[in-house]
Structure 1
Amino acid sequence: MTLDLAERRARRANGLPGPSASENQHWALRVLTSPWTWVTLGLTAIYAGCLWWMYSTSIRATVLEEGVIPGLNPSAIRRAAQLAWPTLLAWVVVFVCLDRFRPMRTLLWWLAVGWGGAVATALSMMINTWAGQHLSIVGEGDPASGARTAVFIAPFVEEATKATVLFGIAIVLRYRLVSRIQAAALAGLSAAGFAFTENILYYSRVIVYSSTTIEAGDPQAALNEIVLLRGLKTAFGHPLFTILTAIGLIIALRARSKVVRIIAPLAGYLLAALAHMVFNFFASVGMDANVMAVIGWIIALSLAFHLIRQVLAEGRRHRDRLGDYVMMGWLPPEAVVAFSRQRTRWASLRNAVSYGWRPLMATFRLQRAMSELAQLRDAQVRGAIDEAGDGRARELLATAHALWPVAITDPKAQRFQFPKIPNPLRRLRRRRQMTPAPTASMPLGSPVYSPVDPRWGPPKG
C-alpha cells in the first residue's frame, strides 16, 4: 500500500506510522534494514564508553587538601556488582510486568535500562563534580560526601539525566507512548539502571574504605548495613522520583491544550526533584533509616495502587473504543471481550503456544494491532489525532481480519492442546483387533464370521 504526499505529511504531523513494506522480506534483511538495529548498536557502544569512563575515573585516587582518597579496585567493583544486581533484577521484573496491553519494544526496555545505568550516571557524575567545584562545596561535588551538593544540586541533575531518555522516546515515538503505565515502566527501568550503577559505586567505596581504615570497624558489617539500606530499605527512591516526571510527561502527551503540554512535564520534573531533595535532606541530617523506609514505601505503595488503577482503566478504555468499531460493524462483538481483558489475552497467548509458532505469532500480532486500534480511536475521540488516523485504522482492521482465522481469540473454546503421550498397550490392543480370527472351527453364519452365508437368499416360490 502506497500513500500520496499529502497523506504522508498528515501522518507525519500526527506521529502516525506508514504501512509496513517489509513484512514479506526475510527476517535477516528486516533486521539489517531496520533503523532500530543501528540505533541500538550505536547507543550500546555509547553505554560501553560511559561505563569505561566511570570505571577509569573511579579507580584513580583523588588528591584533596585533607588528604588522598584511594581509588576503587576491580575486586571491590566485582563484589559490589554481585550485591547490586538482585535489586536491579527485581525492579526490571516489576516494570516489565507493569507494561501491559501494548508493551514497548524489548529494545526500548534495554535502551531505558542502559541509559539510566551508563549515560545518566556518567552525566550526573560530571555535572555534580563541576557544580560542586564552582560552588566551592566541600567534597568535590560528590553527593556521598557533600551534603549541600546532595540536597541542592544532585536532585535536579539526576532527575534530568534519568528522564532524558523519556523525552527522547516521546519525541521520536510519541504515537507509541500513550499511557501512564508505559511511561512509568520506561521511567522505572531508567531509574533502576541508575540505582544499579550508583549502588556499585557506593558499595565499592565502603569495601575499600572499611578495608583500609581501621576506624571503620568490621568491614563485612559495614557492607551489610549499606546493602540493606540502599538495596532494600530505600530502594524505592530513584524509581519513585523518575515516575513522577513520567506522569507529567504522559499528561502532556494526552492533552489538547498547549499550556498543559508545556506545564505538565515541567511540573512533573520539579515535583520529582523536590521529592528527591527532601529525601536527600533527611538522609543528610541523619534521620533514622527505618523511619525513612516506612514513609517512602507507603508513598511508593500509593503510587503502585495508582498504577494498578491505570491498568484497569486501560482495560475499560479498550472495551469502550473497540466497542465503537463493533457498533460500526467493522469488528465482531467477541472482539471486545477477547482484547479488553488482560487475563483473556494472557490465556489466548498461553493456549497459542500449544498450537505452534504460526498461531502464536498471529495471536501476538493480533493483540498488538487491537491495542493500537483502541488507542488510536481514543486519541481521535480526545482530539489528539485528526482524520489522518482513519487510514491507519483501515490498515489495522485489514491486519486484524487477516490474522483472525489463524490466531487464538477465544481461550475457552480453543483450549490448550496437551501433547499426546503414546500408549503402547492401546496400540497393541488395536493391532490385535485388526487381526482376522481363524474360521476353521467356527460355524457358518456365526456373528464373528465376516463372509456372507452362501445359503442366504430370497424366499423361494
Structure 2
Amino acid sequence: MPRRIRKVGAPLGVIIGLGVLVGCILLLTTLANPVGMVIGFVLASVATAVVLLVYLWFDRWEPEPPRLLIFAFIWGASISVAISVALETMSAPLFGEDGFTSMAIVAPIVEEAAKGMFLLLMMTGRRRNELNSLTDCLVYAGFVAAGFAWLENIFYIAMGDTISHSLITAGLRLIMGPFAHPLFTSMTGIGVYLALQHRGSGAKVMYIGLGYIAAVVMHMLWNGSTVVGAGAYFLVYLFWMVPIFVLAIVTGISGRGREQRVVAEKLPGLITSGLITPNEATWLGSMRTRKAAIAAANQIGGAAAGKSVKAFAVQVVELAFVRDRIDRGLADERTYQLHAEEAYWLTATRAQAPVLQWLATYRAA
C-alpha cells in the first residue's frame, strides 16, 4: 500500500518537545506570580477554546489533520512567542523608553513575521497538499495566532499586581479582543491563499508580502490605540476591528461555500470515472445532505458505519480539490501523483464502508 501523501501531520517528538517548552514557560510564570498565573491560565484557556471551536466549525467541510492543527497551535505558543520575545528584547535598547515605537511598530512587525513563518512552512513539502482552499489557510492562520494569543494573554494577566488588576486586564484582553491575533494573521493567510493560485514566484512573493503588510498594519493600529489611550482604543475597536472582523466572518463563510461549489462541480466527473455512483452524488454535494446520509448510516449500521461514510465523503472532497487544481492549470508532476493516490484511497475508503451498499436506495431530498 503506497504512502498516503495527504495524511500529513507533524512529528510526534516535535509536538511533545514544543509542548514541554510551553510547559516550562508556564512554570516560570507560575513561580513569579502563582495567583495571577492561575487566573490567566483559566480565563485565557476558556476564551481560546471559544476561538478554536469557531475555526473547527469553519473546518467541518474538509477537516484538517489533527496533528497539524495541534502543531499550529503549539508553534504559536512556543516558537512564535520565543522569536518575538527575543527580537523585541534585542531591539529594546534602540528605542529606549519609547513605548509607542516598541508596541505600535516593532511588536507588530516581529510578531506577525513569527506567526506567518508557520504558514510559509505549510507551503513546503507534503504540507502544501493541505492548503486546498481559503478556508484551510484561514484555519491554520487562526490556530497559530490563537496559540500565540493564549500564551500572551496569560502573561499579561499574570503580570497584574493584584487580583483585581489581573481581572481587569483579563476583561480588556479577553472580552474586547479574543479574535485580535487570529484576525491579524488571517491577512497573511489570505496572502498565502492568493499566492497558491499563481505559478510564478514573483506573484507568490507579492501576495504573501501584501498579506503580511496588511497583518502588520492592522496590528499596528490595534497596539497603537492601546498606547494612545482609552478613547482611541474604543474608536479603533468599534470602527476598525469590528467591521474587519465581520468582513473576515463573511469571507470565511463564503470560502466554505466555494469549497462546496468546487465539490459539486467535480461530482459529474467522478461519476464518469466510476469513483462514485449517481446516487451518492445526490448527497455528497452539500453539508446538509452529507450529514443526513451519515445519520442514515448511523441508523443502519451504528456509529462505525456513520464514521466510515463520513471518511468516504471527506475523501471525495480531497479528490475534488486535487482535480480542481489540475483543471485550473496549477498542477505539477506531484499534483498528478497526488491525484492518482487520492483516487486509490477513495476506492480503499469505499471498501471499508460496506454500509454504502445499504445506502444505495438513499437519495437526498
Interval of TM-score (by shorter of Structure 1 and Structure 2): 0.7 to 0.9
What pairs with 1:193-212 in structure 2 (closer than 5 Å)?
193-206=147-160, 209=161, 211=162
Deviations 1:240-288 (A, max 9, x none): 0011101111111232333222211111111101111121112211142
Cross-structure match for 1:324 = 269
Equivalent residue pairs, number: 357
- The alignment's C-alpha RMSD in Å is 2.8
Distance 1:380 1:235 in 2: 38
Other-structure match for 2:203? 260
Matches of 2:136 and 2:312, distance apart in 1: 19
Mean Cα displacement is larger for which, 357-366 or 225-234? 357-366
8 Å contact 1:236–1:297 — kept in the other structure?
no
Partner in structure 2 of residue 303 of structure 1 = 248
Per-residue displacement from partner, 1:97-116 (whole Å, max 9, x unpaired)? 11132211111111111111
> 1:179-190, aligned counterparts within 5 Å?
179-190=133-144
Q: CA deviation at 1:90?
A: 0.4
Residue identity opposite 1:109 in structure 2: L
Tell me the residue number matched to 2:109: 156
> Partner residue of 2:70?
110
Q: Deviation at 1:128?
A: 0.8
- Amino acid in the other structure paired with 1:151: A
**1:90 to 1:227, Cα distance in 2 relative to 1, 3 A:** same
Distance in 1 separating the partners of 2:358 and 2:60: 17
Query: Residue 310 of structure 2 aligns with which residue?
Result: 364
Asked whether the equivalents of residues 351 and 414 of structure 1 are also in contact (C-alpha less than 8 Å), the reply is: no
Query: How far apart, in 2, do the equivalents of 1:312 and 1:51 lie?
Result: 39
Partner of 1:65 in structure 2?
none
> Relative to total residues, which structure has the larger helix share, 1 or 2?
2
**Shift in Å, 1:234:** 2.0
Are the equivalent residues in 1 in contact too, given 2:112–2:215 (CA < 8 A)? Answer: yes
Map 1:390-405 → 2, pairs under 5 A: 391-392=340-341, 394-399=343-348, 401-403=350-352, 405=354
- For structure 1, the residue ranges without an aligned partner over 5 or more in a row are 3-16, 21-33, 61-71, 140-145, 212-218, 416-461
Aligned-partner Cα distance in 2 for 1:118–1:175 = 25
Q: What are the Cα deviations for residues 339-365 of structure 1, in whole angstroms up to 9, with x where unaligned?
A: 220112222333433423542332122
Which one of the candidate residues 59, 79, 88 is aligned to 2:48? 88
Comparing both chains, which one has the higher relative contact order based on Cα–Cα distances under 8 Å and sequence gaps of 6 or more?
Answer: 2
- Conservation of the 8 A alpha-carbon contact between 1:318 and 1:371: yes
**Superposition deviation, residue 230 in structure 1:** 0.6
2:18 is matched with 46
Task: State the one-letter code of the partner of 2:246.
Answer: L
C-alpha change, 1:292 and 1:378, in structure 2 (3 Å) is same
Q: Is the 8 A contact 1:252 1:262 kept in 2?
A: yes
Pair 1:148–1:346, CA change in 2 (3 A): same
Q: Distance in 2 between matches of 1:74 and 1:155?
A: 29
Counterpart selection for 1:121 from 81, 87, 96? 81
Deviation of residue 298 (structure 1)?
1.9
Moved more, 82-91 or 280-289: 280-289
Letter in 2 for 1:266: G
Question: What CA distance in whole angstroms lies between the structure 2 residues aligned with 1:334 and 1:312?
Answer: 22
Deviations 1:12-40 (A, max 9, x none): xxxxx6589xxxxxxxxxxxxx9957x12
Tell me, yes or no, if structure 1 residue 101 matches structure 2 residue 61: yes
Contact preservation (8 Å) 2:187, 2:215: yes
Give the secondary structure class of the aligned counterpart of 2:62: coil
Q: Which has the larger radius of gyration?
A: 1
Matched position secondary structure for 1:174: helix
Shift of 1:187: 1.0
Q: Deviations over 1:107-150 (max 9, x none)?
A: 111111111122211221121111112x14227xxxxxx22101
Q: Which residue pairs with 1:176 in the alignment?
A: 130
Deviation at 1:50, TM superposition (A): 4.4
**Cα pair distance change 1:328/1:83, threshold 3 Å:** closer
Deviation at 1:334, TM superposition (A): 2.8
Name the TM-score, length of structure 2 as normaliser: 0.88
Q: Deviations over 1:172-206 (max 9, x none)?
A: 31112111111111111111111111111111112
Cα 1:299–1:136 shift into 2, 3 Å: closer
Q: Among 261, 280, 285, which residue is 1:335 paired with?
A: 280
1:248 to 177, 191, 195: 191
- Change in CA separation of 1:73 and 1:224 when aligned onto 2, cut-off 3 Å: closer
> How far apart are the structure 1 equivalents of 2:311 and 2:264?
18
